[in-house]
Structure 1
Amino acid sequence: MDSASFIEKRRFIVKLGKMLHKFGTPAYRLEVHLLNVAEFLGIGAAFAITPTVLTFVIWQPGEENEYTHVARVMPGELDLGSLSRTDEIVDAVANGDMTLEQATARLNEIAVMPNPYSRIFTFLAYGAAGGAFAMLMKASWHDVFWAALISLLVYLFVLWAAKSRRVTNMLEPLVAMVSAFAATAIAAYLDPTIQVPIVVLSAIIVFIPGLALTLGLAELAARHLVSGTARIMDAVMILFKLYFGAYLGLALGQLCFGEAVYQPVPSVPAWSAWLAIATLCGSLVIVFRARKKHALWGIASGFIAFAASMFGGVYLGLALGAFVGAFAVGVYGNIFTRLMNAPASIVSLQGMIVLVPGSKTYIGLNSFISGEQMAPVDQLGQQTFLIFMSLVAGFIFANVALPPKKSL
């Protein structure tokens, strides 16, 4: 292998690794995928991936010289559409349909590709996600309406953060504070029938790091100790920032508007849970920038997760019901990979979000600090821990039952 060919291959691998990390690929999947690509290209490689540092060590077989590349990066955000397009480039290179030079140029194009969904659609998706989660929490229709409305307000701060680094650094506590302040004002002057804590939680549900906590535990289970620990600690800090912002917003709201007297109203009917799943997963298609051809697959993943977990919960209990749901989603994702030749995570992530107890973690944090429960849940801490572990075990068992075709 000549020097020019080796340089081209290592540049491609480094670029590919940075791109996949940017799109939110977990460390244990990213390292395996990069090793597979390096093996196909006929070069030796070793990788150490964490949420904030990427280390590449690449060498030519039979030669002593090694190329080391260390990059300081920020934790990636989920972009399922770009992940799918990047995976297609790797397949094209493997099939001989694209040269490395063409592949690198295509990766550069994907890196600057704009959001395929307009701001209006994303704006509506945030509102739909907040309202849908309030339905899943079995709140009232009043709560659903106001949660959706405040979620729209939250998105305006997300747009502001995209233009201001100062706002980006304080986005989580800021949106939680504004949501709590707005909910307190609504309860005091417009609608005393709303449950303020539930409305606040639903409005900021997009920021609740339940998925990050689950991925962190999955990385620990795969023996990626540094990356898993870092991801879990980052998620815990986000939870603390969200809770502090909500606590401050409620305190300021009560100071300005007084304490509203809650007037109970009937909760949403049981059938609304299915409407909530469809709405939530549909909004996640837009929030995660999934491609339109994968949208229905992702929405179906949410229904499979919810139905399987409910069925398992009837016979095995809530925690093991999550295991059944995760197992079903894992098998479904691997079937999707075989049929569509795309990464399983494109559809399995939406099912996982339906299952993850990120909201229960937030509720538990509230109970621990204030001594008050936002929602009546028995043995909350134990249930949350068991659900997390059941999710990890469910996906591991699914990969054994039906091995994935792709490493992503």
Structure 2
Amino acid sequence: MNKSEFIQIRKFIVKLGKMLHKYGTPAFRLEAYLSEVAAFLGVRASFISTPTALTFVIWSDRHEDEYNHAARLLPGDLDMNALSLTDELASQLLAGEVSLEEADARLDEIDQMGSPYGKTVTCLAFGLSTGAFAMLMGASWPEILWSGLLGFIAYIWTLWAQYSRRVNLMLEPVTSFVAGFAACAISHYLDPGINIPLIVLSSVIILVPGLALTMGLAELSSRNMVSGTARVMDALMQLFKLYFGGFLGISAGFALFGANEYVPAQSLPFWATWLAVALLCLGLVAIFRTRAKHILWAMLSAFIAYGTATWSGLYMTAGLGAFAGAFALGVFANLFTRIANQPSTIVAMHGLIVLVPGSKTYIGLNSFVSGQDLVQSDHLGQEVFLIFMSLVAGLIFANVVMPTKKAL
């Protein structure tokens, strides 16, 4: 291998690694995938990935050339469209269908792509997802409507944060503060007796880091200690900021408009739960930027995960039900990888989002601080911890039963 070829290869690997990190790839998957690509391209390499940094060490077979590269990066956001296109490009490169120069140029094109759904559809998806989550939590029809409307406000702040670093730094607390204050105003002027804390939780559910907590625990279980610890602590800080903003917003609202007396509404019919899962997953399609050809797979993953967990919960505890749901989801996601030759993450994230107990973590934090329950639940802290560990264990067992063909 001559020096110019080595330079071209290591530039491609560095660019590929940074892009996959940007799309929210967990450390153990990113490191394994880059190792596979490096081995195919004829170089040896070692990688260290954390949520805020990425280190590359690349050398030729006989150490004629060596290269070290360390980059300070921001935590990545889930982008299933870009992840899918990047994986397809890497597969074409490994199959010899495109040259290294063409692949490098195509990576730049993918990196510049925006959401395939546009801002209007994504805004509607925020409102749909937040309303669907309220429905999943057993809210009344008016509470579902208010949650969806406040979800639009959450999207406005999220969109603003993409263009302003100052807004991005305070995104979680200011979004939940505005949601809490607006919910108090709605209760005072339009709809007395609504469950304000539940509406606030539903309106910011997209920002609640339950998925990040699960990914962090998965990284810890794979012995990626630095990355896992950093991701878990970052998720906890996001949770604290969300709760503080919501608590402050509700307190300010009560001080200005007066306290709200919650009046329980009539329970929704059973079919509403399944409708909520469908609507939530449909909204996540645009938020996660899932490609059109993967939408059906993503919807199926959510129904399989939730259906298995619900059915198992009839005969087991909530934690074991989550284990069964995660196991079924993992098998399905790995089966998707074998059939579609795409990363399992593309469909697994949609199923995980209906299983992860991020909302219960928020509820538990509220109960601990205020002594009030958003929804009735006993032994919440123990249940949350058990569900988290059951999800991780279920995915690990699924990889044993149905091994994935891709590191991603």
Give the TM-score, by structure 2 length: 0.99
Work out whether 1:98 is the aligned partner of 2:95.
no
Asked whether the equivalents of residues 40 and 94 of structure 2 are also in contact (C-alpha less than 8 Å), the reply is: yes
The equivalences for 1:17-28 within 5 A come to 17-28=17-28
Work out whether 1:149 is the aligned partner of 2:149.
yes
Determine the structure 2 residue equivalent to 1:303: 303
AA matched with 2:68: T
Determine the structure 2 residue equivalent to 1:87: 87
The equivalences for 1:194-213 within 5 A come to 194-213=194-213
- Aligned mates of 1:243, 1:392 — CA distance in 2: 25
Asked whether the equivalents of residues 180 and 200 of structure 1 are also in contact (C-alpha less than 8 Å), the reply is: yes
AA matched with 2:51: P
Asked whether the equivalents of residues 6 and 65 of structure 2 are also in contact (C-alpha less than 8 Å), the reply is: no
The equivalences for 1:103-122 within 5 A come to 103-122=103-122
Work out whether 1:169 is the aligned partner of 2:192.
no
Offset, 1:64: 5.5
Determine the structure 2 residue equivalent to 1:258: 258
- Aligned mates of 1:49, 1:3 — CA distance in 2: 26
* Moved segments of 4+, more than 4 Å: none
- Aligned mates of 2:96, 2:261 — CA distance in 1: 68
- Aligned mates of 1:143, 1:10 — CA distance in 2: 53
Work out whether 1:352 is the aligned partner of 2:376.
no
- Aligned mates of 2:64, 2:247 — CA distance in 1: 58
Determine the structure 2 residue equivalent to 1:191: 191
Determine the structure 1 residue equivalent to 2:241: 241
Asked whether the equivalents of residues 326 and 394 of structure 2 are also in contact (C-alpha less than 8 Å), the reply is: yes
Offset, 1:267: 2.2
AA matched with 1:405: K
Q: Partner of 1:378: helix, strand, or coil?
A: coil
Determine the structure 2 residue equivalent to 1:398: 398
Q: Which runs of 5+ in 2 are unaligned?
A: none
Q: Partner of 2:314: helix, strand, or coil?
A: helix
Q: Partner of 1:347: helix, strand, or coil?
A: helix
Q: Which runs of 5+ in 1 are unaligned?
A: none
Give the TM-score, by structure 1 length: 0.99
Asked whether the equivalents of residues 130 and 148 of structure 1 are also in contact (C-alpha less than 8 Å), the reply is: yes
Determine the structure 1 residue equivalent to 2:333: 333
Q: Partner of 2:343: helix, strand, or coil?
A: coil
Which of 34-43 and 216-225 deviates more? 34-43
AA matched with 1:329: L
Asked whether the equivalents of residues 142 and 193 of structure 1 are also in contact (C-alpha less than 8 Å), the reply is: no
Determine the structure 2 residue equivalent to 1:135: 135
Residue by residue over 1:257-285, the C-alpha shift from the partner in whole angstroms, topping out at 9 and shown as x without a partner, is: 01122233202212101100110000001
Offset, 1:66: 1.9
Determine the structure 2 residue equivalent to 1:377: 377
Q: Partner of 1:374: helix, strand, or coil?
A: coil
Offset, 1:172: 0.4
Residue by residue over 1:230-255, the C-alpha shift from the partner in whole angstroms, topping out at 9 and shown as x without a partner, is: 00000000000000000110111011
- Aligned mates of 2:157, 2:56 — CA distance in 1: 36
Determine the structure 2 residue equivalent to 1:32: 32
AA matched with 2:19: M
Determine the structure 2 residue equivalent to 1:7: 7
- Aligned mates of 2:342, 2:211 — CA distance in 1: 21
Asked whether the equivalents of residues 130 and 147 of structure 1 are also in contact (C-alpha less than 8 Å), the reply is: yes
Offset, 1:65: 4.2
AA matched with 1:375: V
Offset, 1:314: 1.1
- Aligned mates of 1:292, 1:330 — CA distance in 2: 21
The equivalences for 1:266-285 within 5 A come to 266-285=266-285
Q: Partner of 2:74: helix, strand, or coil?
A: coil
Determine the structure 2 residue equivalent to 1:57: 57
- Aligned mates of 1:263, 1:385 — CA distance in 2: 31
The percent of aligned pairs where both chains have the same amino acid is 56
Offset, 1:193: 3.2
Determine the structure 2 residue equivalent to 1:407: 407
Which of 210-219 and 162-171 deviates more? 162-171
Asked whether the equivalents of residues 327 and 398 of structure 2 are also in contact (C-alpha less than 8 Å), the reply is: yes
AA matched with 2:175: V
- Aligned mates of 1:226, 1:64 — CA distance in 2: 31
RMSD over aligned Cα atoms: 0.8
Offset, 1:115: 1.3
How many residues are matched?
408
- Aligned mates of 1:402, 1:334 — CA distance in 2: 6
AA matched with 1:95: A
Offset, 1:164: 1.7
- Aligned mates of 1:198, 1:264 — CA distance in 2: 12
- Structure 1 residues 378, 262: CA separation in 2 closer, same or farther (over 3 Å shift)? same
Offset, 1:44: 0.6
AA matched with 1:391: L
AA matched with 1:73: L
- Aligned mates of 2:326, 2:115 — CA distance in 1: 29
- Aligned mates of 2:23, 2:270 — CA distance in 1: 36
AA matched with 2:406: K
- Aligned mates of 2:64, 2:391 — CA distance in 1: 43
- Aligned mates of 2:401, 2:160 — CA distance in 1: 45
Q: Partner of 1:355: helix, strand, or coil?
A: coil
- Aligned mates of 2:126, 2:105 — CA distance in 1: 33
- Aligned mates of 1:371, 1:247 — CA distance in 2: 13
Which of 376-385 and 264-273 deviates more? 264-273
